[in-house]
Amino acid sequence: MYVGKLVFAQVMEFAPWHTFRRLVKKYRGDFNVRSFSCLDQFLCMAFAQLTYRESLRDIQACLRAQSSKLYHLGVRGNVSRSALADANEARDWCIYYEFAQALIVIARQLYADEPLSVDLANTVYALDSTTIDLCLSLFPWAPFRQTKAAIKLHTLLDLRGAIPSFIHISDGKLHDVNVLDILTLEPGAFYVMDRGYLDFERLFRLHQAGSFFVTRAKWNMDARRVYSSPTDRATGIICDQTIALNGFYSRQHYPEHLRRIRFKDLESDKTLVFLTNHTALPALTICALYKSRWSVELFFRWIKQHLRIKRFFGTSENAVKTQVWIAVATYVLVAIVRKRLKLDLSLHSMLQILSVTPFETVSLLQLLTDAAGNTDTDVTDKQLNLF
């Protein structure tokens, strides 16, 4: 309840701190720590995410300017660049990874009833990755090219609410398709992927798990038609076929039939060929499912623009993963606040408001509700409005 608390402290109240304390104890995050605890580290890093701080010096200057309010912010330790740098270097990033996962579980429950772009009761995931370029001399543990380093964020996005249900951070060399080996597959769910994930052995493993996939076929795929279903070409569906693979290895890796849908986009005049193992859905629904994959592209563009994950506060692997997972936790926490307060406000607008009001002592609900009434809700797709 609001009793004159700072806006930042009110946002942090929505986090499950009992889970955070359990994780700190599990990984001994505060072992032999005198003043700057894991909680202080998380709050400072989350503050940096919400207020668009660009460096450790930036964080220190901003927080020390409001030193009389740090206690009410929740920070008990002395904020300094060295303390924060040492914490990012030494505290196990798994603390923040598991805390972000706990927040994701809460958010997915809150957004479980969100509508999809297609009339479907199943869970729909979009799988893709994005690359963040780094300097090879500063990040030698993340090789990518001969003179370049990078990390990849492999993300499985739940399209109900644009909540990332799975994120894997790897170096730039890991091929996207390898992520299918570490996914926990959900029976009955749809996995929408681009052609980079077309590997018949892995797709058959997904099929055997009772899951469905929608992806695009490569131009040189060797297959023969087994059966053709009637189609209405006026809708853009050129053909809806059941096919069998001809290639020696591909036939061994995927011995069952697949469904191939050839679709002509009347707007762009492009012809797209989709592959799926679901045989009952209308062909147009399969095409609409693949179109919904664009949400994960919007998600990547959105977090790169509004979260601090392109410039890192440390150069070690632990520091980079700590920053990424705290950024994810902050994103999901704001999404939880939006849902629990029942706000008709985009996530972008919420972050803009929170970025300039962390030290205010107004009611969070009143602040965001008043802003929702004064905000133009006519937001186009180009503005990356995920919610």
Q: What is the pLDDT of residues 153-203, one digit of tens each?
A: 999 999 988 889 999 999 999 999 999 999 999 999 999 999 999 999 999
Same domain, yes or no, for 354 and 246?
Answer: no
| Among candidate residues 268, 297, 326, the one where a domain is terminated | 297
- Gyration radius (Cα) of the chain, Å: 23
Q: Which CATH number covers residue 180?
A: 3.90.350.10
Same domain, yes or no, for 130 and 165?
Answer: yes
| 3-state SS assignment for residue 15 | coil
pLDDT of residue 162: 83
Same domain, yes or no, for 223 and 353?
Answer: no
Same domain, yes or no, for 94 and 121?
Answer: no
Nearest residue to 242 (alpha-carbon basis) of 277, 213, 207 = 277
Burial class of residue 376 (count of CB atoms within 10 Å of its CB; 0-12, 13-18, 19+): exposed
pLDDT of residue 379: 43
Nearest residue to 317 (alpha-carbon basis) of 164, 145, 134, 84 = 134
- What confidence tier does 115 reach under pLDDT thresholds 50, 70, 90? confident
DSSP letter (8 states) at residue 3: S
* Res. 31: pLDDT tops 70: yes
- 374, part of any domain: yes
CA 35, CA 23: separation in Å to the nearest integer? Answer: 19
- 222, part of any domain: yes
| Among candidate residues 235, 268, 297, the one where a domain is terminated | 297
- 285, part of any domain: yes
- 291, part of any domain: yes
- 275, part of any domain: yes
Specify the amino acid at residue 63.
Answer: L
Least-confidence region, from 113-122, 129-138, 156-165, 172-181: 113-122
- 232, part of any domain: yes
CA 349, CA 371: separation in Å to the nearest integer? Answer: 8
Helices (H) and strands (E) in the chain, counts: 14, 10
> Which positions ≥6 away from 156 have C-beta within 8 Å?
125, 126, 127, 164, 165, 166, 167, 183, 191
Same domain, yes or no, for 238 and 373?
Answer: no
Burial class of residue 67 (count of CB atoms within 10 Å of its CB; 0-12, 13-18, 19+): exposed
| Among candidate residues 297, 327, 358, the one where a domain is terminated | 297
- 142, part of any domain: yes
Same domain, yes or no, for 150 and 284?
Answer: yes
Q: What is the pLDDT of residues 272-316, one digit of tens each?
A: 999 999 988 999 999 999 998 888 988 898 888 888 888 899 999
DSSP letter (8 states) at residue 116: P
Same domain, yes or no, for 122 and 237?
Answer: yes
- 303, part of any domain: no
Which residues make beta-bridge pairs with 151? Answer: 132, 171
Q: What is the pLDDT of residues 49-89, one digit of tens each?
A: 999 998 999 999 999 999 899 899 889 888 899 999 999 99
Return the number of other C-beta atoms located less than 10 Å from residue 332's C-beta.
Answer: 24
Same domain, yes or no, for 261 and 206?
Answer: yes
* Res. 343: pLDDT tops 90: no
CA 327, CA 321: separation in Å to the nearest integer? Answer: 10
Same domain, yes or no, for 219 and 136?
Answer: yes
* Res. 380: pLDDT tops 50: no
Same domain, yes or no, for 129 and 263?
Answer: yes
In total, the chain counts a number of residues equal to: 387
* Res. 333: pLDDT tops 80: yes
pLDDT of residue 383: 47
Same domain, yes or no, for 181 and 217?
Answer: yes
Number of domains forming the structure of the chain: 2
Q: What is the pTM of this model?
A: 0.88
For residue 94, the enclosing domain spans 7-98+315-383
Same domain, yes or no, for 123 and 18?
Answer: no
